[in-house]
Structure 1
Amino acid sequence: MCQSTVRKILEMEYRFLGNTGLKVSALGLGAWVPEAKEILQDAFNSGVNFFDNAEVYAGGKAEQVMGQAFKELDIKRSELVLTTKIFWGGEAPNEKGLCRKHVIEGTQASLKRYGVDYFDVIYAHRPDVTTPIEETVRAFNHIIDKGYAFYWGTSEWSAQQIEAAWGIAKRLGLIGPVVEQPEYNLFHRDRVEVEYEPLYEEYKLGLTTWSPLASGLLTGKYSKGHIPEGSRLSLDAYKSLRERLLTEENLEKVDKLKPIAQEIGATLAQFSLAWVLKNPHVSTVLTGASKREQFEENKEALKFLPKLTSEVIEKVEDVMKNKPTPPKNYREWKP
Structure 2
Amino acid sequence: MTLLGTSSIDVFPLALGGNTFGWTSDEATSQTVLDAYLAGGGNFIDTADGYSAWVPGNSGGESETIIGNWTSSRRNRADIVIGTKVSQHPAFRGLAAANVRGAADASLQRLRTDYIDVYYAHFDDPGVPLEETIEAFDALRTAGKIREVGVSNYSPERLQEWIDIATRRGFALPVALQPHYNLVKRSEYETGLAPVVAAHQLGVVPYFALASGFLTGKYRSEVDLRGASREQMANAYMSAEGLAVVEVLDRIATAREVAIPTVALAWLRSRPGVAAPIASARTVEQLPALLASATFELTELERSDLNEASARVNG
Q: Which amino acid aligns with 1:187?
A: V
Pick the aligned partner of 1:320 from 297, 302, 310.
Answer: 310
Whether contact under 8 Å (1:137, 1:176) holds in the other structure is no
Whether contact under 8 Å (1:227, 1:233) holds in the other structure is no
Partners of 1:195 and 1:30 in 2: CA distance: 25
Displacement after TM superposition at 1:247 (Å): 2.8
Pick the aligned partner of 2:48 from 54, 65, 69.
Answer: 54
Pick the aligned partner of 1:44 from 11, 28, 38.
Answer: 38
Partners of 2:86 and 2:254 in 1: CA distance: 40
Pairing 1:241-260 to 2, within 5 Å after superposition = 241-260=233-252
Pick the aligned partner of 1:192 from 185, 189, 194.
Answer: 189
Pairing 1:162-241 to 2, within 5 Å after superposition = 162-227=159-224, 231-234=228-231, 238=232, 241=233
Whether contact under 8 Å (2:15, 2:45) holds in the other structure is yes
Moved more, 245-254 or 149-158: 245-254
Pairing 1:269-288 to 2, within 5 Å after superposition = 269-288=261-280
Partners of 2:260 and 2:178 in 1: CA distance: 23
Partners of 2:222 and 2:111 in 1: CA distance: 42
- 2:6 equivalent to 1:19: yes
Q: CA RMSD in A?
A: 1.9
The C-alpha deviation readout for 1:104-148, integer Å capped at 9, x for no partner, is: 000001111111111011000011100111001101001101111
**SS of equivalent residue, structure 1 residue 293:** helix
Q: Which amino acid aligns with 1:263?
A: A
Q: Which residue of 1 aligns with 2:73?
A: 72
Displacement after TM superposition at 1:242 (Å): 4.6
Partners of 2:311 and 2:46 in 1: CA distance: 32
- 2:135 equivalent to 1:138: yes
Partners of 1:88 and 1:168 in 2: CA distance: 24
Whether contact under 8 Å (1:257, 1:319) holds in the other structure is no
Pick the aligned partner of 2:300 from 310, 315, 320.
Answer: 310
**SS of equivalent residue, structure 1 residue 227:** helix
Whether contact under 8 Å (2:44, 2:82) holds in the other structure is yes
Pick the aligned partner of 1:125 from 117, 122, 127.
Answer: 122
**SS of equivalent residue, structure 2 residue 88:** coil
**SS of equivalent residue, structure 1 residue 157:** coil
Whether contact under 8 Å (1:317, 1:323) holds in the other structure is no
Displacement after TM superposition at 1:303 (Å): 3.2
Displacement after TM superposition at 1:289 (Å): 0.5
Partners of 2:63 and 2:161 in 1: CA distance: 32
Cα gap change, 1:260 to 1:67, in 2 (>3 Å): same
Q: Which residue of 2 aligns with 1:11?
A: none
Q: Which amino acid aligns with 1:206?
A: G
Whether contact under 8 Å (1:266, 1:304) holds in the other structure is no
Partners of 1:140 and 1:56 in 2: CA distance: 18
Cα gap change, 1:257 to 1:43, in 2 (>3 Å): closer
Whether contact under 8 Å (2:248, 2:305) holds in the other structure is no
Cα gap change, 1:16 to 1:249, in 2 (>3 Å): same
Cα gap change, 1:242 to 1:213, in 2 (>3 Å): closer
Partners of 1:151 and 1:314 in 2: CA distance: 35
The C-alpha deviation readout for 1:224-264, integer Å capped at 9, x for no partner, is: 25316653334xxx2xx354222344224323431122222
**SS of equivalent residue, structure 2 residue 89:** coil
The C-alpha deviation readout for 1:203-236, integer Å capped at 9, x for no partner, is: 11111111111111111111225316653334xx
**Which structure's CA Rg is the greater one?**
1
Cα gap change, 1:221 to 1:60, in 2 (>3 Å): same
Cα gap change, 1:210 to 1:242, in 2 (>3 Å): closer
Runs (4+) of structure 1 exceeding 4 A deviation are none
Which structure 1 segments of 5+ residues have no match? 1-13, 325-334
Whether contact under 8 Å (2:212, 2:234) holds in the other structure is no
Moved more, 108-117 or 65-74: 65-74
The C-alpha deviation readout for 1:245-286, integer Å capped at 9, x for no partner, is: 223442243234311222222221110010011113111111
Displacement after TM superposition at 1:78 (Å): 1.8
